[in-house]
Amino acid sequence: MKLFFILLLALLNSLQLFSQTTLYEIINDMLLPHEGLPHGVPSGYDWQSKPRKGAAEPKAGWTAAIAWGQVYEWAGGNPATNTRIQIKDLAFYYLSKKDNKWYLLQSAVRVSGANYREDFVGDVNKPASTRVENDGSVSVTCGGGFNYHFWPNSGRITIPVNDVAGCFVTVKARLVVDDASKPDDREKGRYLMSVGGDWWQSLTAPWDNFKTNADIGIGRFRYITSEWKSFNMYSVPADTLRNNAPPFVSITTGASAFKKDMSLDFINIYNHSGGLKISVINPANEKISLTVYDLNGGKIETLANQLLTGRNEDFYWDSASFKSGIYLLKLTSANQRITEKIKVNW
């Protein structure tokens, strides 16, 4: 009974840390107009007021691709002066022509990028003010006529030859305080984010005014808030998603570790026959226990009970053998206890 109340309390607390991402929201990210117009983007740009679908498949002979995102101030003004945008978990999936399943092509907890001129004319850009956060992701600023355009640290990725039927790109973002000694003005923040992707002629082809790259699509601009939210783009018909949902993290995770030297990083690898990979980031030597529970406090499975030897460790839960629903993943050590909600969708 005591364990049940501990888990129930953890669940209630976690509701304040997580925001839901639903398939309905993902579909709308390519169907609805932007929540707000991005500052400095001319009305003649066909993505200024609504999402844009590009090429679902690469050109013949093209061999590379990359996921990306962009942050803008709202066209109507942004009064916040002590707010940053934290970005993490940029992921790029493709739909296979061979078996009609979604596969992870590219992912990055930490992104790279720069402040670009808002209309991208002349490809004018400058280094961004970035700060590494406790979970390994970064936070950034933008404004003064410049957006923040970002992509995975690893750069472009090789694509499967003649096997791409479509793509799905997703990322998480929230607003954080810039200077803790100054007033928190995140409620005044008017920042917008969208994500997209590009096909590239090759891994090393230089940019040549869209002769060597082409848009996969540009997703809907939505406001970034102080709660984690997911922003999405897909290049297939909406009905394709309804009938064959892409992998997505249903619960957006927040920083719930009590110490900076240990955290959980969830990488969703659902393909209807897969499961969940849990990466424990732990530079210190500690013995940990990693266990899955149901919402009634019943133990489902112990994934790990061992000493970590100062490096990241990956553990796997074969969730395909369990029914859809919400579960609790609990990590304990001598110094801390972390509980995260995970959602299984089949």
Q: Is there a contact between 301 and 291 (Cβ–Cβ < 8 Å)?
A: yes
For residue 336, the model assigns a pLDDT of: 65
For residue 282, the model assigns a pLDDT of: 59
In angstroms, the CA 280 to CA 223 distance is 31
How many C-beta atoms lie closer than 10 Å to residue 19's C-beta?
17
How many C-beta atoms lie closer than 10 Å to residue 118's C-beta?
23
For residue 272, the model assigns a pLDDT of: 38
Q: Across the beta sheet with 276-281, what order do the strands follow?
A: 263-268, 276-281, 313-317
Q: How far is CA 130 from CA 111, 113, 150, 320, in A?
A: 10, 9, 11, 39
Largest CA distance in the chain: 65
Domains located in the chain, CATH noted: 2-15+256-344 (2.60.40.1930), 23-237 (no CATH)
For residue 250, the model assigns a pLDDT of: 41
Q: Is there a contact between 92 and 158 (Cβ–Cβ < 8 Å)?
A: no
User: Is pTM beyond 0.85 here?
Assistant: no
Could you tell me whether strands 164-177 and 157-158 are parallel, antiparallel, or unpaired per DSSP bridges? unpaired
Mean pLDDT by 10 residues, the chain (346 residues): 40 39 86 97 96 93 97 97 96 94 89 97 95 93 97 93 94 96 96 98 93 96 94 95 76 33 47 58 70 84 80 72 80 72 69
